Structures are given as C-alpha cells and as structure tokens.
A and B are shown apart, each in its own frame.
Chain A
Amino acid sequence: MENNTDTEFLESLADKEYEHGFVTNIEMDILPPGLNEDTIRFISAKKNEPQWMLEWRLKAYNAFLKMELPTWQNFKMPEMNFQGISYYAAPKNTPKYNSLDEVDPELLATFEKLGIPLNERKKLLGVKDDVADVITDEDGNVSERPLVAIDAVFDSVSVATTYKEELKKHGIIFCSISEAIQDHPELVKEYIGSVVPQTDNIFAALNSAVFSDGSFVYIPKGVRCPMELSTYFRINAENTGQFERTLIIADEGAYVSYLEGCTAPQRDEHQLHAAIVEIVAHKDAEVKYSTVQNWYPGDKDGLGGVYNFVTKRGICKGANSIISWTQVETGSAITWKYPSVILQGDNSYGEFYSVAVAKGKQIADTGTKMIHIGKNTRSRIISKGISAGNGQNSYRGLVSIGAKADNARNFTQCDSMLIGDRCGAHTFPYIDAKNPTATLEHEATTSKIGEDQIFYLNARGIDTEKAVEMIVNGFAKEVLNKLPMEFAVEAQKLLAVSLEGSVG
C-alpha cells in the first residue's frame, strides 16, 4: 500500500462528482430577476389567487423590507442579492394536469432519472388493488414495497401529484399548495403562517411573500394515512430561487409519515432555497417528517452550490400529539436549518434526529428548538455531525422549558465525527428552563475516524473506502434507523457517495 497518511486518504474522498447535476432542457416561463410589489402581484396573478392571499403576501413583503439578515450563525453570511434572483420559473404550458398522461414527457423523464417514479404503479390484470412491488434488503429479506404518493415540484410549480384519488377515498387531501389555496381556502387561511409567523426571520418573510409552490396535506380525524406521502423538489432553471411552502395538518387522532427529497443541477453560481414547512398536530395526532436533502453542494473549491435557508416548525397543539423530524443533510453549500417543535399540548412529544455532512467547503449550521409549554411534555434530540475536507459542521439547539411545563423532559445527544484534520465540528446547545421540575440531559462526543478502526477492517479484507462507509453509517445508524426503510437505503448510499474520496 502507498505511504498515504490517514489524513491524505481521508481527504481525497471528497471529490466525487454530484450525481444529479444535469440540466433539463425544457421551455420555461421565467420572470426576469428582481423583487418588488409587482413581482408578488405577478406570482399571485399567475396562480390565480384570491385577494386575501395576495394581501397576505404583500404584508409579508413589507415586513421583509424592514428585516435584517441574521448574524448569530457560526459562519460569515454570504452577500445576498435579493434583486439578482428570478422569483418565478415554470415549465411552459403547464397549467394543471388532469392526469399524468398530460405531463410533459421531458419532465417525467427528469424525475425518472432522479429515481422518482411519477407513474402510479400499474394495476396487474385480475387484481383489484394496487399490488406493491417486492423489495429485497441487503440481508436478503423480502418485503412489500410500501406505496408512496408523490408531489413533484419542478422549479416554481408542482408538476404532478400521484395517488390523489386513492387518498381522497380516506378523506385525505394531498395536493400542491396552489391547488389548496383554490380548493380548500378555509384550511389554508386558518393554518398558513400559524406555526411560522411571517416575521419569524427574513427568509421566512421572503418565502411568505414569494412562495411559489409546495405541498399541502390534510389528514382528517382518526385517519391513519395508508401510504407514505412525499414531495420531491427539483431546482432546474438558472438564477432562480426556490421558495416552496409545505403545510401539513393532522387532525385529532390522525397519523401521517411524510418524506421530502431534493436535488439541483450543478451550476457555478449560488442558488437560494428558502423554504417553509409548517406542521400542525392536533390531539392524539402523529406526524413523522423525514428529509433527505441533497441540493448541489458546490464543487470542492466552493464554487456554486445551493444556499439552503429553511424554516421548519411543527406545533403539537393537542394533548398527546407527536411530531418527529428526521433529516439527512448531505447537500447544499450552506445549510441553515432548525426544524423545531412547539410542545403546547400536555403530554406531547417532539423528536429531532439528524445526520449532517459537511465536506469540501460545505457549511452546515443546523439543529432544533424544542419549546416545552404543556405539562409532561417530552423531547428527544439526536444529532450526528460528520465533517470532512474543509467542512464546518455546527449543531445549534435550544431547549426551552416554560413556567407551566411541569415535569418536562429533554434528552439531547450530539455526536461529531471528524474525517481528516482541516474540518471542524462545533456545538451550541442553549437551555432556557423556567420550571424547576424539568429534567434535562445532554451528552456530547467528538471522535475522529481512526487509522486503527480502518486498519482493523482492512485486516479482515475490507478496503478503506468501504471501511469508511461502514464506520460512517455505523455512526449515523441511530438516525438512519428512523427513516422509512426505502429512504434509509437511499440515505445510506448517499452518505457513502458523498464521502467517497474523503479518504485516500
């Protein structure tokens, strides 16, 4: 074996090309760059929105104008030229599809290439219901492939939503937020901005003003959603921002598991992604939200890449409700994201499971806020940060215990893994406890992938690349285990790919 040091080896892994960097050539309607009231009126008109929606957007825009970029993050905020971004880009001739057959084949092909099947699984002859495919895991266990309904968002618009009719039978609404504004205005009006106020932060204000599309989910009382729901976001057009907005409402006793994935082409300039996700869980409801974030991270010298400034928050409104965030963050040049839970209902429970990778010149500043308001509320935070190359990974978390939150409990565990010696891991845990009955636990570890660990696996016939993959996946296992199975396999592969070349 060459006389590479561990460090050199570990560092050379980071250069693997981004797999989803291709561009789809399709005719687009693109608004020229620039942001003013007319931009907002244009977007609202393009979507044929009611007056109240336009007014809501304009209010947000006025708030946005008065707000400043945040300064507390653990990195230097890049310059944001909000006038240099195009705020609307949609494939031409894509008003609304009545069926998938009407979707531009080029778009279907794009999602197919990304591994996102937009065809509803064909029914087999003589079989009444949809027959799930069969999948085999790496140990050879065979199981039914779960059905997943997908809302596919291409730049500013939702191009297709699958299994809508099937879901309708259960009273479940799963559609783009644009459609929801048309078809279910009462629900949108009641809940939009109720968890993430327009003025929460400058990116939230911007999103509230210009949000283009996103997904809307409503699960009625007592309904357990029979399949996974999923949104897949694709940025394609140049110089555009993506500002999607997702709203999920689980009524009393309802259950839903929701997945989100995303990719973008490889471009030399930075693209802004400023999304909002709001979740409302009523009494006894449970919402699981899983993300595998794989936006283009930029090249190894930090050229290009997506700026990912996202506000995600859920509220456990009713007693005994549960909200669980799981995220695998492997992409983006900068990730600034703190999926949070407001634990308002008594006995409600919030979870945050995260794996964040920062390699090359990537920056990840991510974590969560658990706001305990109700009695006997509990929360659990498991954060795993992996840093390689020159990557900088920060965990930032707040556990807040309100005066009335008797017997609140939180457990926080932050583990950092360093690959090579030019990267960094940082932890910023904040605690704000106003009730003496609270129980708070915090554990933190930092480890380096050791030469010893790699050699041990080498000595059993496993090469170094695979050894690192195993060690990293082992490190992230607790989080990966929380993902729905199909997603977990994808995430494992993604972690392997995104660290390939970090070790030499």
Chain B
Amino acid sequence: MLSIKNLHARVEDKEILKGLNLEVKAGEVHAIMGPNGAGKSSLASVLAGRENYEVTEGSVTLDGKDILEMAPEERAREGVFLAFQYPIEIPGVSNINFLKTALNEIRTHRGLDPMTAKEFLQKSKEKQALVEFDAKLVNRSLNEGFSGGEKKRNEIFQLAMLEPKLAILDETDSGLDIDALRIVSRGVNKLRSENNAFILITHYQRLLDYIVPDYVHVLSDGKIVKTGGKELALELEEKGYDWLK
C-alpha cells in the first residue's frame, strides 16, 4: 500500500530524513520508535504534506500513486490520515460540521454522492459508540477548550469517520492517562482491518501493549536502523537506543 524509497527531506537548511525506506502492506500495523530528534514526527509531516518540509530525494507512493506531487487535501482524499500530535483548535467551527465537510470532500473525490444529514448523523452515532467518544464533544467547536486527552480522542473519532487507507498516529499516546490510553487503543484496534494500515509513531513501549504491531522500526538520525517484531519494542524499553548507533 505505502512504499517509501530513499526519502530525503529537509526543513530550511537542515536535513532531517536521510534516505528512509519503508514498505507497509494493507492490514499491517507498523510502529516507529526512536530517540528525540530522530525524525519521527518529521516523517509524519512529510507524508501528510506539511508545507515547510522539502523533499529533496526519493519517492513515496500510495497504491502506486505518487503522493509527493499532491497537495495535503488531495493526499487526505486519497486516503492518508494524520492524527496530529497537537490537534489544532478552530473556534466557532463545529466539530460535526467540520467532519461532514471533510467526509463529503473525500466522498466526492471518490465519485460518491455527498452523505445526507440523516445518513451522516447515523454514521456519526455508530462511530461515536465504536470509539467511545463523548457525544457532548461532537457539537462543540473543533477542539476548542478540549483537554489534551479529548483532543487525542477526537483524532481517533475523526479517523473512524473518515475511514482512511493509511492512518499515521503521531505520538497519539503522549499526554494520555492510562484510562484514555486504553480507550484510544481499543478504538484503534476496532478500526484495524484487512483493508487499512497504521503507522504508530511513539516514544514508549507502553502503547504497544495495547495496540500490538506487526513490525517495529527504529528511526535514528533520519533513517530506519533496525526492524523487528513486537519483541523489539521490549528490548528497546530495556536497553534504550544507544546500542543501535
């Protein structure tokens, strides 16, 4: 599904990704771990198309399509979803209307009719229940005044509603207490299917107790330096990252 080959990227003059390779197939969950400053969040930003990241070399394709040529909204419509590390507040824009607009943009792109209000609300109710999202937050302004945990849970609710092919969770576990972590993880586990794939970017092995990955990669200095199964995360927990350098 996702194929990253020899990806180099920089912000201003600083090279951040230095020849990164990654293959993700449908149905897989990949965890990306690594020390601070290794380029984990930069990878997420480059995949989503954040403007200040410049790709200098390499390719990224999603189901064979070159996504680097696409604007961020086109990538989203093609099925890339980034759960933000720091979700943004947008005052006055209701969460539910925002989601309806987003979903209908994506549907239109795929040649589907926009959902009617009734269908949409029905879907929203199902997904709220699925990911245990508080109904009160649905009608509030987008992330405005949400707690850190509520924002993260809203990202998972959006993920459930928009049903992307590839979901990138950028440190979704950071700042969550253990209950919130469980709820978020349960949501992600319910959303896993044969047709989608997840990239979990995380500092901590803790998340991987709840969402069990198929592969664990260690990102260091802009490259993937080690790949293993879920047991690699435990090893990292024990030994740290230094031994890999």
Contact = CB atoms under 8 A, between A and B. Distances in A.
A141 B121 CA distance: 13
A476 B90 CA distance: 12
A499 B97 CA distance: 21
A1 B67 CA distance: 11
Interface stretch (A97-105, A229-237, A285-293, A452-460): A452-460
B92 A459 contact: no
Contact of A473 (B70, B81, B93, B99): B93
Contacts of B101: 462, 466, 470
A478 interface: yes
A458 B92 contact: no
Nearest to B142: A474
A483 to B, nearest CB: 15
B188 interface: no
A463 B105 CA distance: 9
A474 B141 contact: yes
B71 to A, nearest CB: 4
Interface residues on chain B, size class = 35 or more
Interface residues on chain A, size class = 20 to 34
A115 interface: no
A471 interface: yes
Nearest to A467: B73
Contacts of A141: 117
Given A139-B117, A140-B117, A474-B141, A462 B93 contact: no
B90 A456 contact: yes
Interface in B69-88: 70-73, 75-77, 81-82, 84, 87-88
Nearest to A470: B93
Contacts of A471: 90, 93
Interface stretch (B44-52, B176-184, B224-232): B44-52
Contacts of B105: 460-463, 466
A460 B102 contact: yes
Interface string B151-175: 0000000100010000000000000
A451 interface: yes
B76 A458 contact: yes
B106 interface: yes
Given A139-B117, A140-B118, A466-B101, A461 B73 contact: yes
B123 interface: no
Contact of B71 (A139, A463, A466): A463
A461 B102 contact: yes
Interface string B181-192: 000000000000
B72 A458 contact: yes
Contacts of B147: none
Contacts of A46: none
Given A452-B88, A456-B90, A462-B105, 16 more contacts: A6-B51, A139-B117, A455-B50, A456-B88, A458-B71, A458-B72, A458-B73, A459-B72, A459-B73, A460-B99, A461-B162, A462-B73, A462-B102, A466-B105, A470-B101, A474-B91
Interface of B: 48-51, 70-73, 75-77, 81-82, 84, 87-88, 90-93, 97-102, 105-106, 109, 116-118, 141-142, 158, 162
29 contacts: A1-B51, A1-B71, A6-B51, A139-B97, A139-B100, A141-B117, A453-B88, A455-B50, A455-B51, A456-B84, A456-B88, A457-B98, A458-B73, A459-B73, A460-B73, A460-B76, A460-B98, A460-B158, A461-B106, A461-B109, A463-B71, A463-B73, A464-B73, A470-B98, A471-B93, A474-B90, A474-B92, A474-B93, A475-B92
7 closest Cβ pairs, A-B complex:
A474-B92, A140-B117, A474-B93, A458-B72, A461-B76, A477-B92, A460-B102
